[in-house]
Amino acid sequence: MVYPGAMHTRFEHSLGVMHVASRMFDALLRRSRDVLCSSDYGFNDASLERQRRIIRLAALLHDLGHGPFSHAAEELLPLKPDGSDRYEHEDYSAAALKYCLDDLFENHRESQANGIRVRDILEIFETPARSAGVLVWKDLVSGQMDADRMDYLLRDTHHAGVQYGRYDLDRVIYTLRLCPDPESEGHHIGVEEDGVHAVEGLLIARFMMFTQLYFHKTRTIYDYHLVECLKSLLESAEGKFPPPAEIGDFLEWDDWKVLGLISEGRAGNHGEILRFRKHHRMVYSTAEVVKDKEISMVEELAANLEPHGCVVRDAEKSWYKSGSEEIKVWRTSGRIERSVPLQTLSPVVAGLIKVNQRRLYVPESSRKTAEAVLRYRAEK
pLDDT tens, position by position, 181-194? 777 678 889 999 99
- pLDDT for the residue numbered 377: 83
The residues pairing with 285 across neighbouring beta strands, listed in sequence order, are 359
CA distance 354 to 207: 10
Burial of 74 (0-12, 13-18, 19+ CB in 10 A): middle
pLDDT band at 14 (very low <50, low <70, confident <90, very high): very high
pLDDT tens, position by position, 261-292? 999 999 999 999 999 999 999 999 999 999 98
Do 241 and 66 meet the contact criterion of CB atoms below 8 Å apart? no
Query: Of 81, 80, 82, 105, nearest to 90 (Cα)?
Result: 80
If DSSP states are collapsed to H, E and C, what string results for 337-379?
Answer: EEEEEHHHHCHHHHCCCCECCEEEEECHHHHHHHHHHHHHHHH
- pLDDT for the residue numbered 110: 78
- pLDDT for the residue numbered 236: 65
The HSE-up count of residue 263 (CA atoms within 13 Å, CB side) is 6
CA distance 308 to 373: 10
pLDDT (average), residues 30-54: 91
Sign of the Cα pseudo-torsion (64, 65, 68, 71, in order)? negative
